[in-house]
Amino acid sequence: MCYICLHMVQRHFWIKRIEKAWREKSVIWLSGVRRAGKTVLCQGLQGIEYFDCELPRTRRRLEDPEAFLDQLRGKRIVLDEIHRLENPSELLKIAADHYPTVRVIATGSSTLGASRKFRDTLTGRKAQVWLTPICLADMADFPRSGMERRLLHGGLPPFFLSERIPEKMFAEWMEAFWARDIQELFSVGKRASFMKFAELLLAQSGGMFEATAFAGPCEVSRPTIANYLAILDETFVAHVLRPFTSRLSSEIVSAPRVYAFDTGFACNYREWSSLRPDDFGLMWEHIVLNEIHALTGNRNIHYWRDKHGHEMDFVLSDRGKPPLALECKRTASNFDPANTLAFHSIYPRTELAVIAHDVKEPFKHRYEQAEVTFAGLDWLGTRLKKGA
């Protein structure tokens, strides 16, 4: 049932993103975690020719890139799971340099530079589109909508559409992630240690990260834990947020916060089948982070915290522009301005906002010298597009 539903869904936000990227470059690298919907999205594009690089006959056909591309001038093609080729970057480089009328989408589950298979990251030759779990714009396209479903089921389309919380699907996804992504793309020897670390990280999503705390339970060294985290980051399974700081003695300057890529996995490994208000609030942070990722494609997002325990959930900073600092709340009514005022006292030029689930129409409120915008995800989308 989910399979049929998925092929009926037109994800208009991402289709527009791909069309825009193709106007900039002839080659697109479409990344995202397994089962985020890359294949279905690509197969739904108009006038597409689809090639599954997992099939031996497709790989044989691609052994001569020039002969292959000669037959496709002026066409749009998808090279799905391109990392299965012996030298995928060579094919994409030839397409970008010598076949500009061939519009190519290549898909993969990691950043292009993460895999040892890619000898050239095609800098300047490609556009990049990162397909995140379901964002706000997607919610209008999918049946069975609702924020609590999105939080508990997660944002991978087949998981989101499942009748019940898909516990077995979470376990199956983790097994496939190890077998298909980690084993094929990285050199990781200790399966039990790596999987234990991934599960612990998902269960503790949103917290401060200290490698030493994971080394004992996973029975590996601290440097190995750091390597595991880098792999999860490269494959979009974990998002590492560094502190926003001017290196004052009162600020946290080194410890990262780490978020799971998806609320469904975070809830599953916490064994949550329903959400209390505080649980909803923590998962709401994940939704806001996912929205920022979807709208901007930018992973260079920070958090802020001082040594007195004041913190801002997310800080977005572009060179030459005032930062945008966000707090995430389930309801606007439980907002305490102490964190915002502490941050504003150090960074007075910052734009301040509270992104709350229950705010439908944006409004502003002043606390001492700090003006704070209260808004929902719709406002955040408009604000980030304006600042792009």
CA distance 343 to 18: 37
Q: In what order do the strands lie in the sheet with 76-80?
A: 48-52, 76-80, 103-108, 27-31, 127-130
Give pLDDT, residue 305. Answer: 93
Last residue of some domain: 73, 106, 131? 131
Clarify whether residues 127 and 224 are in a common domain.
no
Domain residue limits at 369: 143-387
What the block records as the tokens of 109 is 């589950």
Determine the Cα angle at 266 with ends 264 and 267, to 5°: 65
Clarify whether residues 122 and 218 are in a common domain.
no
Clarify whether residues 369 and 262 are in a common domain.
yes
Clarify whether residues 50 and 112 are in a common domain.
yes
Clarify whether residues 150 and 106 are in a common domain.
no
Q: How is 207-234 classified by DSSP, letter by letter?
A: EE--HHHHHHHHTS-HHHHHHHHHHHHH
Clarify whether residues 176 and 118 are in a common domain.
no
Contact, 382 vs 375, CB < 8 A?
A: no
CA distance 245 to 349: 14
CA dihedral 16, 315, 37, 155 (to 10 degrees): -120
Clarify whether residues 295 and 185 are in a common domain.
yes
Give pLDDT, residue 334. Answer: 84
Is residue 298 situated within a structural domain? yes
Give pLDDT, residue 1. Answer: 42
Q: Give me the helix-helix angle, 191-203 and 263-270, nearest 10°.
A: 100
Beta pairing partners, 363: 374
Is residue 137 situated within a structural domain? no
Is residue 30 situated within a structural domain? yes
Give pLDDT, residue 246. Answer: 79
| Phi/psi at 284 (5° precision) | -65, -35
Clarify whether residues 121 and 239 are in a common domain.
no
CATH number at residue 106: 3.40.50.300
Is residue 138 situated within a structural domain? no
Clarify whether residues 161 and 123 are in a common domain.
no
User: Would you tell me how many other CB atoms lie within 10 Å of the CB of residue 321?
Assistant: 11
Clarify whether residues 80 and 157 are in a common domain.
no
What the block records as the tokens of 274 is 């329903």
Is residue 136 situated within a structural domain? no
**Beta pairing, strands 207-208 & 127-130:** unpaired
Is residue 24 situated within a structural domain? yes
CA dihedral 37, 43, 48, 54 (to 10 degrees): 80
Number of structural domains found in the chain: 2
| Phi/psi at 226 (5° precision) | -60, -40
Clarify whether residues 121 and 157 are in a common domain.
no
What the block records as the tokens of 241 is 């947020």
Give pLDDT, residue 5. Answer: 62
What the block records as the tokens of 49 is 């020719």
Is residue 109 situated within a structural domain? yes
Chunked in runs of 10, what are the mean pLDDT values of the chain (388 residues)? 62 96 95 93 93 95 96 96 87 94 90 59 86 95 89 96 94 94 84 97 95 95 94 94 83 86 97 94 97 94 93 90 94 93 94 96 94 96 80
Clarify whether residues 26 and 111 are in a common domain.
yes
Give pLDDT, residue 312. Answer: 96
Q: In the 8-state DSSP scheme, what is residue 257?
A: E
Strand ranges (E), the chain: 27-31, 48-52, 76-80, 103-108, 127-130, 207-208, 238-243, 257-260, 302-305, 311-316, 324-329, 351-356, 363-367, 370-375
Beta pairing partners, 78: 50, 105
Last residue of some domain: 65, 97, 131? 131
Give pLDDT, residue 87. Answer: 86
